[in-house]
Structure 1
Amino acid sequence: MNPPRLLPQRITLRARLTLLYGGLFLVAGMVLLGTTYALFNQQLTRSAPKILTLEKSDPSATAGSAAPRRQMLFLSKNGESLTGADAENWMREQQTTLHDAATTSLLTLGGIALVVVGGAAAGFGWLVAGRVLAPLHRVTDTARRIAAAPAAGRGLHERIALRGPDDEVKDLADTFDVMVERLDGSFDGQRRFVANASHELRTPLTLGRALVELAMHRKSASEDVKQLGESLLEINFRHERLITGLLLLAGSENEITERLLVDMADVVGHVVAQTTPEAERAGVVVHERAAEAPTAGDALLLERLVHNLVENGIRHNLGEGGRVCVTSRTREDGRVEVEVGNTGPVVPPYEIPALFEPFRRLGADRLVTAKGAGLGLSIVRSVAQAHGGEVAARPREGGGLTVTVILPACPVQVG
Structure 2
Amino acid sequence: MKRLTIRARLTLLYTALFTAAGAVLLAVTYVLVERQLPKTAVFKGATGIAGEAFQLPMEDRQAIDKIFVQQIDSVRETTLTTLLTQGGVALLLILGIAAALAWLVAGKALQPLQQITDTASRIAHSGRGLHERIALDGPRDEVKQLADSFDQMLARLDNSFDGQRRFVANASHELRTPLALNRALVELAITRSGASPDAQQLGEALLKVNERHEKLIDGLLMLADSESEITERTPLDLADVCEHVLKSVPMHASRVTRLLEPAPCHGDPVLLERLVQNLIENAVKHNVPQEGWIRVETSTVDGRARLIVANSGPEVPRYEIETIFLPFRRLGQERAGAIATRGLGLGLSIVRAIATAHSGKVTAAPRSGGGLVVTALI
Task: Name the TM-score, length of structure 1 as normaliser.
Answer: 0.80
8 A Cα contact 2:279 2:351, kept in partner: yes
1:390 counterpart = 2:367: no
C-alpha distance after superposition, 1:195-216 (max 9, x if no partner): 1111111111111111111112
Q: CA RMSD in A?
A: 2.9
Match of 2:58 in 1: 71
Match of 2:316 in 1: 347
Equivalent residue for 1:30, pick from 5, 23, 28: 23
Equivalent residue for 2:327, pick from 327, 351, 358: 358
Deviation at 1:46?
6.1
Cα distance in 2, alignment partners of residues 95 and 321 from structure 1: 108
Structure 1 residues 167, 406: closer, same or farther in 2, change over 3 A? closer
Structure 2 gap segments, 5+ residues each: none
C-alpha distance after superposition, 1:105-127 (max 9, x if no partner): 42245335544665665566556
Structure 1 residues 47, 239: closer, same or farther in 2, change over 3 A? farther
Cα distance in 2, alignment partners of residues 271 and 133 from structure 1: 51
Structure 1 residues 236, 56: closer, same or farther in 2, change over 3 A? closer
Match of 1:6 in 2: none
1:105-144 correspondence runs (5 A): 105-111=82-88, 113-115=90-92, 118=95, 122=99, 125-126=102-103, 129-144=106-121
1:18-167 correspondence runs (5 A): 18-41=11-34, 44=37, 45=39, 48-52=42-46, 53-54=48-49, 71=58, 83-84=60-61, 86-111=63-88, 113-115=90-92, 118=95, 122=99, 125-126=102-103, 129-149=106-126, 151=127, 154-167=128-141
Cα distance in 2, alignment partners of residues 323 and 124 from structure 1: 65
Deviation at 1:138?
2.9
Structure 1 residues 269, 101: closer, same or farther in 2, change over 3 A? same
What letter corresponds to residue 34 of structure 1 in structure 2?
A
Equivalent residue for 1:315, pick from 285, 293, 306: 285
C-alpha distance after superposition, 1:311-341 (max 9, x if no partner): 111111222322222222334x343222111
1:274 counterpart = 2:248: yes
Match of 2:219 in 1: 245
8 A Cα contact 1:393 1:403, kept in partner: yes
Cα distance in 2, alignment partners of residues 263 and 314 from structure 1: 23
Cα distance in 2, alignment partners of residues 127 and 395 from structure 1: 50
C-alpha distance after superposition, 1:120-149 (max 9, x if no partner): 655665565445434323322322222222
Answer with 1 or 2: which has the greater Rg.
1
| Structure (1 or 2) with the greater helix fraction | 2
8 A Cα contact 2:227 2:357, kept in partner: yes
Structure 1 gap segments, 5+ residues each: 1-8, 58-67, 73-82, 408-415
Task: Name the TM-score, length of structure 2 as normaliser.
Answer: 0.87
Cα distance in 2, alignment partners of residues 36 and 170 from structure 1: 42
Cα distance in 2, alignment partners of residues 163 and 291 from structure 1: 48
